[in-house]
Amino acid sequence: MQTLQDRFGRRFSYLRLSVTEVCNFRCQYCLPDGFRGDKHGFLSVDEIRRLTRAFAELGTYKLRLTGGEPTVRRDFTDILSAVAETPGIRRIAMTTNAYRLARNAAVWKAAGLNAVNVSLDALEASSFRAITGDRRFDMVMAGIDQALAVGFDAVKINTVLLRELNDDQLPVFFEFVRERPVSLRFIELMQTGDNQAYFERHHVPGSKIRDRLTADGWKPVARGPAAGPAVEYAHPDYAGQIGLIAPYAKHFCDGCNRLRVTSRGALKLCLFGSGSTDLRPLLSQDDQTEALKSHIMSALFEKPPTHLLHQGQVGDTPHLASTGG
């Protein structure tokens, strides 16, 4: 079996695949005015199948579907079936705002979805609306309940920590995992091309959470080989866990194990890098797999050792919906 390895010895077993740039929410740090771009021309199910096959033959076994909002695609269940049928893919996760989760969790699980990350920046309706621009708080909460009821391998919550907007709510977020077997991960707000003023106003360093967790008796948990970027903490009094994704922390990129492909078929080596490699010309026919694999392997040679986010260099990502967050 071939493996994807870069110049620094990092191995890539995890692909984050964006299936659309379109999002129906208006999160203030991402798409405050809603999605305004071209709503057409995203990878087809057949292109996604060929892409997944090539990555799987290169040792990728974990796939995350993201966007934009991946579930706005009407053929989302077909996408899941296509990737689930790919030999070598053992774990399929998605990141979603959960607006369709309550109704579809069972169908998506049957199609092959193993794990769900739900984005949830507030635990009551009015702040949820202020941050996301959307009124469907109750549907999102019902989606989380339904995801737990159908028994995915993992249900995780992503919460972007925002000064003045939700950073005074830490005890409420901790309480959320007291009885629920979910991992709630605080994500440090990241600067992107479009959100500089918002970032300066609302960024909270991850160390604030880390200090609070340590003071309250939470202990770090060992990280699995295909784990994402979160450091997870457990506490004997809580059914769930708290995680921290702190991209501004030193050595964050040392353990990088993931690559990204955009919804238009561009391989991005780093969320905060510039440039990409167009894979789409090699996705139109089934007999292009070997050429596609060579193209991916040679592109990987250019992966830099680290992003330069801490120096304010955000690369060419205007917002995370464009690349797949």
Q: Where are the alpha helices (DSSP H) in 92-195?
A: 101-111, 125-132, 137-150, 170-179
**CA pair distance 321, 37, nearest whole angstrom:** 11
DSSP category for residue 73? S
**CA pair distance 159, 173, nearest whole angstrom:** 9
Contacts 24+ apart (CB under 8 A), 259-262: 259/4, 259/12, 259/14, 259/15, 259/16, 259/55, 259/300, 260/15, 260/16, 260/17, 260/18, 260/323, 260/324, 261/15, 261/16, 261/17, 261/18, 261/51, 261/324, 262/18, 262/21, 262/322, 262/323, 262/324
Instruction: Give the nearest distance from C-beta 190 to ligand SAM in angstroms.
Output: 4
Question: Count of residues binding ligand SAM (CB under 6 A)?
Answer: 21
Decide if 15 contacts 256 (C-beta within 8 A).
Answer: no
Instruction: Give the nearest distance from C-beta 32 to ligand SAM in angstroms.
Output: 11
Q: Which is nearer to ligand SAM, 58 or 98 (CB)?
A: 98
Binders of ligand SAM among 147-186, rule CB under 6 A? 158, 160
User: Does residue number 271 form part of the binding site for ligand SAM (CB under 6 A)?
Assistant: no
User: Does residue number 321 form part of the binding site for ligand SAM (CB under 6 A)?
Assistant: yes
User: Does residue number 325 form part of the binding site for ligand SAM (CB under 6 A)?
Assistant: yes
Among 89, 209, 309, 320, binds ligand SAM (CB under 6 A): 320
Kindly write out the interface string for residues 46-85 of this chain, putting x where it contacts ligand SAM by CB under 6 A and - elsewhere.
--------------------xx-x----------------
Kindly write out the interface string for residues 112-151 of this chain, putting x where it contacts ligand SAM by CB under 6 A and - elsewhere.
-------x--------------------------------
Q: Which is nearer to ligand SAM, 58 or 242 (CB)?
A: 242
Instruction: Give the nearest distance from C-beta 247 to ligand SAM in angstroms.
Output: 8
Instruction: Give the nearest distance from C-beta 150 to ligand SAM in angstroms.
Output: 19
DSSP category for residue 66? E
**CA pair distance 273, 323, nearest whole angstrom:** 11
Among 155, 184, 190, 259, binds ligand SAM (CB under 6 A): 190
- Residue showing tokens 């990737």: 83
Q: Which is nearer to ligand SAM, 166 or 192 (CB)?
A: 192
Tokens standing for 211? Answer: 């200090």
Contacting positions for ligand SAM (CB under 6 A): 23, 27, 29-30, 66-67, 69, 95-97, 119, 158, 160, 187, 189-190, 192, 195, 320-321, 325
